[in-house]
């Protein structure tokens, strides 16, 4: 039996550069040098299998890539596979970055496909091909199999197992790096950023290196968002539901930590349009949202100046925050609607009667005032002031726009964006997981 086993091994090893690391009465260790070490391991293990020689993974630590071990005549034979030339390090350039990050997607796909935590011995050409439908990457598979440095092999195994332990029972996932799915997410960011005139690097917005997509995820949320904060809410909502998960990677040495970043409490709830409040005597109008939240739109300027028109969030469970006329118009614009004119102050100064006539339409439509009551407001100098005209005109114009929108879903999205900007106007980074 020993001669048969050794003849099989010698026949395979004659094609490789080998060196004997140890040869005792109980153990024989052989180092095999080849840059295509994954294929080398596959070839050796396939030959052992064909010869009906039982084998398994090494029983001692020989690096992250591992090796092959089998017994004969009370002696262990161990093959340890090493690259003939050194692979690139963690910061060796864009190609190595693509390889290392793509490797994490591949290793995770295999863990999820096999339905268990894995070791590097599970990452073979057979399993890569079997579960190729679970990953889409821009890295080269041969490069991953043969040139992935040992520290990144260990990191990829550790990361794959951390992801499986956290999400393995949450559904069926695919893993993406540098493909059409990632480009679709990035395009949504570029579109919103361009519409708003925001200068921001995509890695400052979301530094995810790979994305997990659950089988029931619908990209409509990503595709339909018009604003950056609306997109951020979509990203956070889907992350918390476990449907679309961005993951920022850091090389793992011993163990893994998986934690969420940029998850904000006031982005957890959806806000829908719930009507308005409009008084004949006040300078404001309220846009009502679901959950008891309201945004009061009026002039917040001091004194008698015709300035400071903006919205302020009101509600027991809402963070106080304001949204100015500029951001309000930006949101209206990116949703494809007309904007609140910015000439209110000059109109009040030059033609106050014309301004009141426009407000009177709102007083009747939204305030339910009679013609007599409207005339009483016009004649009341304590109410009908330049500041009232300036503020009420723009509040009325905003309601005109909102009430003209017949598509409920579009209107809900618009007012939700107004709310998000008012309550979270400084938060431009979106939610993701950090795997380190």
Q: For the segment 286-338, what is each residue's pLDDT rounded down to a tens digit? A: 999 998 889 999 998 877 789 999 999 886 544 467 888 988 998 898 888 99
Looking at residue 84, what is its pLDDT?
Answer: 67
CA 335 to CA 411: how far, in whole Å?
A: 9
Instruction: Express as a percent the part of the chain with pLDDT over 90.
Output: 54
CA 312 to CA 227: how far, in whole Å?
A: 19
CA 286 to CA 295: how far, in whole Å?
A: 6
φ and ψ at residue 173, rounded to 5 degrees? -120, 155
CA 126 to CA 63: how far, in whole Å?
A: 22
In a domain, 70, yes or no: yes
Of 25, 57, 82, which residue constitutes the final position of a domain? Answer: 82
- Residue 86 pLDDT grade (very low, low, confident, very high; cuts 50, 70, 90): very low
In a domain, 88, yes or no: no
- Residue 95 pLDDT grade (very low, low, confident, very high; cuts 50, 70, 90): confident
Q: What is the pLDDT of residues 368-379, one digit of tens each?
A: 999 999 999 999
CA 74 to CA 292: how far, in whole Å?
A: 77
Same domain, 310 and 240: no
Same domain, 281 and 420: yes
Average pLDDT over residues 417-431: 73
Given a cut of 70, is residue 5 above it in pLDDT?
A: no
Picking from 156-160, 231-235, 377-381, 416-420, which range would have the lowest pLDDT averaged per residue?
Answer: 416-420
Of 321, 400, 314, the C-alpha closest to 361 is 400
Looking at residue 87, what is its pLDDT?
Answer: 43
Count of domains for the chain = 3
Beta strand spans in 150-249 (E): 173-177, 210-214, 244-249
Same domain, 321 and 237: no
Looking at residue 318, what is its pLDDT?
Answer: 45
Same domain, 62 and 100: no
CATH number where 54 lies: 3.30.460.10
In a domain, 131, yes or no: yes
Q: CA neighbours within 13 Å on the CB side: how many for 342? A: 7
Same domain, 75 and 122: no
Q: pTM value?
A: 0.61
Same domain, 111 and 130: yes
In a domain, 435, yes or no: no
Same domain, 231 and 301: no
Q: What is the pLDDT of residues 197-221, one digit of tens each?
A: 776 678 778 989 999 999 999 999 8
Same domain, 193 and 123: yes
Strands 432-435 and 244-249: parallel
158 or 57, which is more confident? 158
Same domain, 299 and 403: yes
Looking at residue 9, what is its pLDDT?
Answer: 64
Same domain, 201 and 175: yes
Mean pLDDT of the chain: 87
Same domain, 248 and 390: no
In a domain, 26, yes or no: yes
In a domain, 87, yes or no: no
User: Contact at 8 Å (CB) between 320 and 313?
Assistant: yes
DSSP-based three-state secondary structure for 25: coil
Looking at residue 235, what is its pLDDT?
Answer: 95
Same domain, 236 and 199: yes
Torsion on CA atoms 162, 167, 171, 175, rounded to nearest 10: -50
Looking at residue 316, what is its pLDDT?
Answer: 56
Looking at residue 10, what is its pLDDT?
Answer: 67
In a domain, 111, yes or no: yes
Q: What is the pLDDT of residues 354-408, one digit of tens each?
A: 999 999 999 999 999 999 999 999 999 999 999 999 999 999 999 999 999 999 9
In a domain, 429, yes or no: no
- Residue 36 pLDDT grade (very low, low, confident, very high; cuts 50, 70, 90): confident
Of 82, 104, 122, which residue constitutes the final position of a domain? Answer: 82
Of 43, 61, 82, which residue constitutes the final position of a domain? Answer: 82
Domain, as residue range, for 371: 273-424
Given a cut of 50, is residue 426 above it in pLDDT?
A: no
281-319 burial, b if ≥16 CB within 10 A, otherwise e? ebbbbbbbbeeebbbbbbbbbeeeebebbbbbbbbeebe
User: Contact at 8 Å (CB) between 287 and 397?
Assistant: no
Given a cut of 90, is residue 273 above it in pLDDT?
A: yes
Q: What is the pLDDT of residues 110-168, one digit of tens each?
A: 999 999 999 998 999 999 999 999 999 999 999 998 889 989 999 999 999 999 999 99
151 or 61, which is more confident? 151
């Amino acid at each position: 039996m020993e001669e048969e086993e050794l003849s099989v091994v010698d026949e395979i090893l004659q094609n490789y550069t080998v060196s004997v690391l140890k040869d005792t009465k109980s153990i024989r260790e052989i180092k095999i040098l080849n840059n295509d070490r994954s294929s080398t391991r596959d070839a050796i293990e396939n030959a052992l299998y064909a010869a009906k020689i039982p084998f398994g993974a090494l029983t001692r630590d020989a690096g992250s890539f591992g090796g092959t071990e089998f017994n004969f005549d009370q002696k262990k034979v161990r093959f340890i596979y090493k690259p003939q030339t050194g692979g690139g390090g963690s910061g060796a350039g864009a190609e190595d970055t693509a390889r290392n990050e793509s490797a994490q997607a591949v290793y995770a796909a295999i863990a999820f496909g096999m339905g268990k935590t894995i070791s590097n011995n599970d990452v073979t050409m057979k399993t890569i091909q079997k579960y190729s439908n679970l990953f889409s990457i821009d890295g080269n598979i041969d490069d991953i199999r043969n040139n992935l440095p040992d520290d990144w092999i260990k990191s990829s195994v550790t990361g794959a197992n951390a992801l499986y332990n956290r999400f393995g029972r949450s559904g069926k996932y695919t893993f993406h790096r540098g493909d059409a799915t990632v480009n679709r997410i990035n395009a949504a960011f570029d579109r919103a950023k361009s519409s708003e005139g925001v200068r921001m690097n995509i890695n400052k917005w979301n530094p995810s290196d790979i994305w997990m997509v659950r089988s029931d995820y619908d990209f409509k949320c990503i595709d339909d968002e018009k604003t950056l904060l609306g997109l951020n809410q979509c990203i956070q909502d889907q992350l918390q539901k476990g449907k679309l998960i961005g993951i920022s990677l850091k090389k793992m040495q011993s163990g893994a930590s998986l934690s969420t970043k940029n998850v904000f409490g006031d982005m957890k709830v959806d806000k829908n349009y719930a009507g308005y409040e409009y008084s004949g005597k006040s300078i404001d109008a309220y846009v009502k949202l679901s959950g008891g939240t309201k945004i009061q739109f009026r002039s917040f300027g001091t004194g008698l100046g015709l300035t400071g028109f903006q919205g302020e969030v009101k509600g027991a469970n809402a963070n106080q925050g304001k949204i100015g006329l500029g951001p309000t118009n930006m949101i209206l614009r990116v949703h494809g609607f007309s904007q609140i004119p910015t000439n209110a102050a000059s109109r009040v100064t030059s033609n106050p009667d014309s301004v009141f006539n426009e407000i009177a339409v709102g007083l009747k439509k939204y305030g339910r005032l009679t013609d007599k009551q409207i005339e009483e407001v016009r004649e009341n100098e304590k109410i009908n002031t330049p500041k009232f005209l300036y503020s009420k005109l723009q509040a009325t114009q905003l309601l005109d726009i909102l009430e003209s929108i017949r598509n409920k879903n579009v209107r809900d999205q618009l007012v939700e964006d107004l709310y998000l900007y008012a309550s979270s106007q400084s938060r431009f980074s979106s939610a993701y997981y950090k795997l380190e």
